[in-house]
Amino acid sequence: MMNVLVGKTDTPLVMLDRNGARVAPIGSKAFLLETTGEFDLAAQRRIWALSHTIAAWEDKAEIVPGMTNLLIVLRHTPEDPEAVVRRLLDAWDRAEPIDIVGRTIEIAVQYGGEHATDLAALCNYSGLSDRDVVRIHSEGIYRVFALGSAPGFGYLHGLDQRIYMPRKTVPSLHMARGCVTIGGMQTGIAVLTGPNGWNSIGFAELQMFDPLSDTPAIMAPGDTVRFVAASVDL
């Protein structure tokens, strides 16, 4: 019926690295384009542009912009994967940075208190007082780079590097939905109660996701987010 290849290991790799981006497959239908330059807004604005271009491709089933990268899932397994890789890199070469005019979302945060389980550790790590950590976090202006991981979760860029904090090696097992967290150089709001490796410094009541809504996620890429200190309990 067909020639089944068992134990064949000399298949050429379907990957290419060119002009600040590389593409490689994930399985048979998905391809990941990753930028290889800085982790910054400029790169993300080109990813948003690329996302717009690809949205018009007839063979795309799904586009998932990530943090300065983009996953495309095709409708059908391509006969010629090398052509897909080249087409993605060509589109990247032509991608001129765009800015998404998003909404500005103000989120009231209860800093400190029972949900701020990692505030003390962050103070130790950064050498800052809890008051300074809260001030620096609430003064920031953040952009939603991408959504992912859990329903409606927004990866926010723009964290002040003085309060960068690595993810925990042992995650908290039952972090509450609504915890305001820092993971490395990113910040965000937990959308599900459960295991979480990010560091919690406060709590927000906002419901980030409603599966029955026409627009289930509150945040969208390009949105601007500001945290407003509703209360500080240190």
Partner 1 sequence: MIEITRTSPFNTVQDLGRPGFRHIGVTASGAMDPFALKLGNALLGNDGGSAAIEVQTFPFQLRFSASTAFVITGVDCEATLDGQTVLPWCAATADAGQVLDTAHPRHGARAYVCLAGGVDVAAVMGSCSTSLRGGFGGNGGRFLAVGDRLALGLANRAGDIPPCGLAMVEPAVMLADVFPVAPDGALLVRAIPAGEHGLFGADAERFWNQTWKLSPQSDRTGYRLSGEPIRPVTPVEMRSHGIVPGVVQVPPAGQPIIQMADANTAGGYPKIAGVIEPDLWRLGQARIGSTIRFVQSSHAEAVAIEKAMNGFVEDVRRTSGMVKRALMALA
- Residues forming contacts to partner 1 in the complex (CB under 8 A) are 1-9, 11, 13-15, 22, 24-30, 32, 34, 39, 61-71, 73, 77-81, 146-153, 155, 186, 191-192, 209, 211-212, 216-217
Which sign does the torsion angle of CA 105, 108, 111, 117 carry?
Answer: negative
Ramachandran sector of residue 132 (left: φ over 0; alpha: ψ -120 to 50; beta: rest): alpha
**Choice between 8 and 174, CB closer to partner 1:** 8
Residue closer to partner 1 by CB (options 73, 128) is 73
What's the closest the beta carbon of residue 215 comes to partner 1, in angstroms?
9
Bridge partner list, 189: 180
The CB-of-51 to partner 1 minimum distance in angstroms stands at 9
Q: How far is the CB of 66 from partner 1 (least distance, A)?
A: 4
Helix (H, G, I), strand (E, B) or coil at 150: coil
Report, in Å, the least distance between residue 160 CB and partner 1: 19
Query: From the CB of 111, what's the least distance to partner 1, in Å?
Result: 25
Measured distance CA(72)–CA(33) in Å, rounded:
8
Q: Which helix (H) or strand (E) holds 143?
A: strand 142-147
β 16-18/194-196 pair status: unpaired
Kindly tell me which of 70 and 182 has the beta carbon lying closer to partner 1: 70
CB of 25 to partner 1, least distance (A): 5
Structure tokens at 58: 């007839």
Our CB check for partner 1 shows the closer of 13 and 101 to be 13
Residue closer to partner 1 (CB basis): 25 or 113: 25
The 3-state secondary structure of 70-115, one letter per residue: EEEEECCCCCCHHHHHHHHHHHHHHCCCCCCCCCEEEEEEEEECCC
Q: Please name the residue that has the structure tokens 């945290």.
A: 227
Please identify, using beta-carbon distances, which residue of 116 and 191 lies nearer to partner 1: 191
